[in-house]
Amino acid sequence: MRGKFITLEGGEGVGKSTNLLFIKERLEAAGKKVVVTREPGGTEIGEEVRSILLAHRESSLHETTELLLMFAARAQHLQQLILPALDAGDWVLCDRFTDATYAYQGGGRNLPFEKIKILEDFVQNGLKPDCTFLLDAPIEIGMQRASERGELDRFETEEQQFFHRVRAAYQKLAKLEEDRFHLINASQSLTSVQSEISSALDQLLVK
């Protein structure tokens, strides 16, 4: 039986790392073999692309270059890790996926969703996550949390309006695919967040 593909999405400082571990442990307790990965990254080549995307540099990275690098890393990720794991019956849990590209490059960088869709169709051949948790919190809360983690990467140092556009794009995506998305208020207590996640996972485990 093919495994399930779960993604965790959201802006900066919404608690993705904490809840990624929670989901992994919850699924393993239910007897599932779980492969945890991230984007950009997940493979040796993908991690090299990630370092290019996140590094601060004197010359700016053009938004089209950024978009193509995201999908280049994703193509490698899919072929080398995600698809083989799903075919083997494993459950794949990924910290961000294509929804992040629509949010950051589409919303944040103002690139047309139609262009992103062309690349999505080409690279993914119809593959979408079975379930996406979107952790949502006001920008001010998320950025405060992110700043407490240490040095900020290239995306995390964008101006505040960038993150407002990212959040709006995420919310738009969640409305377009309500069956796949679970929109969770990440500014509430961790116990409440994880209670909502558990309920959604219970539904997924019986499908």
Binding-site positions for ATP:
10-17
- Report the binding-site residues: 10-17
Beta strands in the chain (DSSP E): 5-10, 34-38, 91-95, 131-136, 181-185
Cβ atoms of residues 116 and 102 within 8 Å: yes
Residue 116: name the closest of 52, 63, 55 by CA. Answer: 63
Cβ atoms of residues 123 and 40 within 8 Å: no
Amino acid (one-letter) located at 2? R
Residue 108: name the closest of 61, 42, 63 by CA. Answer: 63
Question: Any idea which residue has 């790392």 for tokens?
Answer: 17
Q: Is the Cα dihedral 56, 10, 170, 177 positive or negative?
A: positive
Phi, psi for residue 170 in degrees, rounded to 5:
-60, -45
